[in-house]
Amino acid sequence: MKNRKIIILILAIFSGITIFGLEARDSPFTRKGTGPRYWIAYEYCWVNNTAIPEDRWKANIDWIASDFKKYGYDMVCNDGWIEAAQTINKDGYIVKYNDEWQHGFSYWADYLAKKEMKLGVYYNPLWMTKAAFQQNGTIKGTNIQAQEIIGDISFNEHLYWVDVDKPGAKEWIQGYIRYFIESGANYLRIDFLENYERNYGVVKYIKALQWIKEAAGNDLFISLVMPNCFDHARNELQYGDMIRIDDDCFDGGWEFVSNRRRGEQKALWPQYGNAFDGFIGFADIGGRGQMILDGDFMRLNTMANDKERKFLFSLMVITGSALAIGDQFDTIGESAWIYQNTELLDLNDKGFVAKPLSFNHKDIEKSSIWAGQLPNGDWVVGLFNREETKQIRSIDFEKELGIEGGIAQNVRCLWQHTDLGPQIGGYSVELEPHECQIIKIETSDRKYETEFASMIGIYKSSLNFRYSGNGYVTGFDKEGSVLIAVEIPEEGMYQLQIRYGNSSGVTATGSLFINDQKYKKQLYMPSMDNKNEWDNLNIEVFLQTGINYIHIQKDKYDNGLFNIDFIKIK
């Protein structure tokens, strides 16, 4: 994949829209759009307030391999309560999760590899153990000793923070990243980031993230946990693949899913108390080429009934979150089937990320309706009821999704695994409290609404009229981009129709990239008399079989004075 500059629009949290230009981490992981499927050791540790024993860790690995690997859950990860681990190698890096364990990271990576699974590691490379401090060895690649790089403020009694301004700190941090990669880890969950930023400041925090990104490259998935996400995750967007968007799971239940501090937003971590609010709040930066949103772990055994269990899993799937099983082999009960819904898991496989019809938490109805498009142009809609009373949830096929004539070739319920047949106009359902329904809407053409695509450095608007669907995207003059994933059955030449708006008084110019290759000609979009008018730009393009990534953006010699409503592939 080419490393291309991507510009991100940052929506300031409390003061309207402010635009900041920055480069985002456009990795193979973010390009996919959705998070990994895995098991996490959180539940035992949280419930018992201690590290998970090695025999229980192994039992859970074997359970996941037996019951869930065939459903794409191909990774396991340790979690917290690792801070007391003090067994280190000659370079000062920890070698295993807990001192009482017999085996280390490399052993478990090999064990998992034999099962065709991967190892995820929870640790912060900005930490230095007390054992490494006392060993005071020479930092790999330097003549500097370990004690010379610690900061004035420690994380806790077992761990020091590294001060990134001290010589040798970069080699320590990047050495830790490379060590985890060499130990067989594919995923690094970096926790307590707000603590470092609070104690050492934003500048040092950014420097640390830069070094982590640089060392990880495309070999290690970077999960940023407990970030403050100041300026709408301005800094995290540049350096991470995934960010936590809400408070910890803790005891789980409906409080975690929807109720804890509902409707409230803090200026720092955790900005949102429950998963649903967090997803609404950060939905605009979630998607391909942007950021994977992490709603934290799922503990189905803490939910009151199957309606709530389906609600939780559906929410995680439709938002593109990591699908992290928190239940254990002896706590899951009869709920494994929830995690094994192949029609929902197919959405995760295809990189599907939806957006709410409204980003306003106070708009209870529209923020509870999520929609997005699959690469083949079909729609998936999530209808959720967070309330304590029955609620009607509806979607208008033409007015809200832009489906021409409001004609759906077929509507399918992804929980009932049932085709509901062709429908015209829309779909409506009465939901019980804490109930949801996920439907797939099949259409006859490849028309892609940009307001549901990845809005990279641009934003959704509905100020102008006569647009298709739920809005259009604007702000390209600030060097933004819209990214759309399009699936093609057979390679060849296709007509790409771009519906644009331009009332600037001059010809608007932009650039088209297909699979990171710039189209040979600049896009010219003549001005129209009325801001509510739209016109079509038609060009011939070559598309490959399978997924194609289409960017429309302002490039170096463009003015970006255009809006984009939708694109069509013919």
Residue with tokens 């024993």: 53
Question: Residues for the chain: how many in total?
Answer: 570
Q: Which residues lie closer than 8 Å to 454 by C-beta, 6 or more apart?
A: 33, 287, 288, 289, 290, 353, 482, 483, 484
For residue 51, give the DSSP letter.
Answer: P
Mode of pairing for the β-strands spanning 292-294 and 242-244: parallel
Residues 191, 247, 284, 555: which is the catalytic one? 191
DSSP E strands, 194-301 = 221-224, 242-244, 292-294
Dmax (CA) of the chain? 74
Query: Catalytic annotation on 251?
Result: no
Residues 74, 79, 163, 241: which is the catalytic one? 241
**Closest C-alpha to 262, from 249, 250, 275, 253:** 275
Q: Which DSSP string do the residues of 239-257 spell out, in sequence order?
A: H-SEEE-S---TT-HHIII
Please classify residue 114 by burial: count the beta carbons closer than 10 Å to its beta carbon, then call 0-12 exposed, 13-18 middle and 19+ buried: exposed
CB environment 16-54: b (16+ within 10 A), e (fewer): eeebeebebbbbebbbbbbbbbbbbbbbbbbeeeebbeb
Query: Catalytic annotation on 241?
Result: yes
Residue 160 near residue 127, CB atoms below 8 Å: yes
* Residues identified as active-site: 191, 241
